[in-house]
A and B are shown apart, each in its own frame.
Chain A
């Protein structure tokens, strides 16, 4: 292709043409040792990312099965399938597995591990052995979690509130607590590694103002992991000691305050929801710019709003405790602070929407997931404000309204964000393209199934059906049936990628270095990347900001290849001269950094 065939380069004279396709890495990171031991002893951040991917996918299936049991049981209004005790254990297993063993490591440990060094132009994370250790520690935590579940399960809910968890519960609380405690260390290790790497190992020219927004969001996430997780660790120790010895600091019999456990627990566990959602924000920023062919709108606003969420997210935990008997004055303060966190979240949504404006949008699977993310996250975020309001929270607390709210954020937001990231970087990770058609179908099914599952829960929650109860009045059965039907569709939606993604490894078309025509450093390296990410003789030197789609250059200042999507005059690439970035959009070019 001659340089002038690229419409963006045509519009901006003097730019370099797209680089030639780099030769395939030899060996690439997948070929560098193929024995099982070479994987189990690897210190390569990319392989550790893959190990995490396999592990958390298994957890996702287990957590999904538990959710399926819960939903099936709720089809009848009198707990027709499970005993009431088994029902308690099923929803606890769902919560513990999905939160501690899937959502928290999902993006940081899989995509973050794989991509952070590549995005900042480093050969590896700062502490490769610590990185491998984090995976093993995670496995140990998972073994304890599995032990707890196989040993009859836990019936306290994932929140483990005393005094029930310390005195009443006859279930495997201690192994479960140990599992969560241990997995917390793995979370700290990952976060610490990412923070040090971003601080100390950026490529020449990769200033803070040129960091991809995915890196910014992972930085903010890691900050929360680092500063929040130790508090839940000490809390779980105090809880475990109290359960084992029969006397402890949460014991009301000796003047202890069970609400103190909730304070300590939510000091971590509320910021933890930002550990879960912030990486999703990062994925959205990467994907939405690439598939709109536009610079991000308001780079600094998006970057700093991540940091804002990381800090403000620590100031509002007690909105989980408005009806637990905390001080009225304190509740008022926390209610106000809870409202505050809506500000940076809204800044992000507005900036993404503005990025879409007049972009040359194409709808490949990552983009479909991201659009789903933005819509569902907005619904989840706005309903969160109902719960931050003291008065309405008294009515809505512990109802299905809360369940629907956080599933909109966690599943509608985060799982879709994770799927978007997985689909976006899959060609980079594996060197193969997956089925375009099936991936779009799967995105559509997941979004439809999701709406059907959780919209009815808003309704029944608003009408006062409490969460965690296996029984409910018969007149609400239709909504639970709808919800379960939606969950089945959702399950089908997740099943499809579980088929076409592995199949793509064998039958997928080979992916080039930069199949999406994206600007980040990770795309400058061949797919799959070599062991140390880049050609070691020519480590990257960054010359511009991360999203120069309007200029049509990547972070090394080279031209971009032809973007994918419908080709020819009908496709966005062909229309670039009319509505694309190189045409009337040129004036919005902002070179950040």
Chain B
């Protein structure tokens, strides 16, 4: 778990913030992808073709959208490992909450007999 920032570089080492500035074209492409996904979820849900799987499809699309936003707009792709770890930790802990909640709410009405 070596951390590059715990060892300060020697004085005078240049640190160029312009180096990884985004290109406008790339950002527009990401923007269009997110918009397109939104259009998909909007029209597919309105048409009702998804039936009872609507919730899962919608949530899957939203997750992809959020992932794209996080990776490109929020610069997760440039972040150091611990930033990625933080993002994953928040997802993991939310999953803990959901899974263990469901362990109660999906089995609450099953009565043990005998």
- Are the CB atoms of B6 and A329 closer together than 8 Å? no
Some 18 contacts from A to B, beta carbons below 8 A apart, are A200-B3, A202-B6, A203-B6, A207-B2, A208-B1, A227-B89, A259-B104, A263-B101, A314-B96, A318-B100, A318-B104, A327-B108, A328-B107, A328-B111, A329-B103, A329-B107, A330-B107, A333-B100
Considering only residues 60-94 of chain B, those with a C-beta below 8 Å from chain A are 82, 89-90, 93
B25 in the interface, Cβ–Cβ < 8 Å? no
Chain A 199-231 near chain B by CB (<8 Å), digits 1 or 0: 111111011100000000000000100010001
* Residues of A contacting B8 in the complex (Cβ-Cβ under 8 angstroms): 204
Which of A330, A333, A334 has the most B CB atoms < 10 Å from its CB? A330
B contact face: mostly helix, strand, loop, or mixed: helix
- Are the CB atoms of A200 and B5 closer together than 8 Å? yes
A200-B3, A206-B6 as given contacts; A327 in contact with B90, CB under 8 Å: no
CA gap between A207 and B4 in the complex, in Å: 11
Name 20 extra pairs, CB < 8 A, besides A223-B89, A227-B93, A327-B107: A199-B3, A200-B5, A200-B6, A202-B3, A202-B6, A203-B6, A204-B7, A206-B6, A207-B2, A227-B89, A263-B101, A315-B96, A318-B100, A326-B108, A327-B105, A327-B108, A328-B111, A329-B103, A329-B110, A330-B107
B57 in the interface, Cβ–Cβ < 8 Å? no
- Are the CB atoms of A328 and B1 closer together than 8 Å? no
Which residue from chain B places its CB closest to the CB of A196 in the assembled complex? B82
Q: For chain A, give the interface size range.
A: 20 to 34
* Residues of A contacting B101 in the complex (Cβ-Cβ under 8 angstroms): 263
Which residue from chain A places its CB closest to the CB of B97 in the assembled complex? A267
A578 to chain B, nearest CB (A): 40
Q: What are the nearest 6 A-B pairs in CB distance? A: A330-B104, A327-B107, A202-B6, A329-B107, A327-B108, A330-B103
CA gap between A498 and B111 in the complex, in Å: 55
Which residue from chain A places its CB closest to the CB of B1 in the assembled complex? A208
B21 in the interface, Cβ–Cβ < 8 Å? no
A16 to chain B, nearest CB (A): 24
CA gap between A198 and B113 in the complex, in Å: 52
- Are the CB atoms of A263 and B93 closer together than 8 Å? no
CA gap between A231 and B103 in the complex, in Å: 18
CA gap between A227 and B8 in the complex, in Å: 30
A204-B6, A263-B104 as given contacts; A328 in contact with B112, CB under 8 Å: yes
Considering only residues 1-29 of chain B, those with a C-beta below 8 Å from chain A are 1-3, 5-8
Considering only residues 218-267 of chain A, those with a C-beta below 8 Å from chain B are 223, 227, 231, 259, 263, 267
- Are the CB atoms of A201 and B6 closer together than 8 Å? yes
* Residues of B contacting A334 in the complex (Cβ-Cβ under 8 angstroms): 100
A448 to chain B, nearest CB (A): 41
- Are the CB atoms of B6 and A231 closer together than 8 Å? no
CA gap between A227 and B2 in the complex, in Å: 24
A206-B6, A208-B1 as given contacts; A327 in contact with B103, CB under 8 Å: yes
Which residue from chain A places its CB closest to the CB of B96 in the assembled complex? A314
* Residues of A contacting B107 in the complex (Cβ-Cβ under 8 angstroms): 327-330
- Are the CB atoms of B6 and A327 closer together than 8 Å? no
A207-B2, A329-B103 as given contacts; A231 in contact with B97, CB under 8 Å: yes
CA gap between A330 and B110 in the complex, in Å: 11
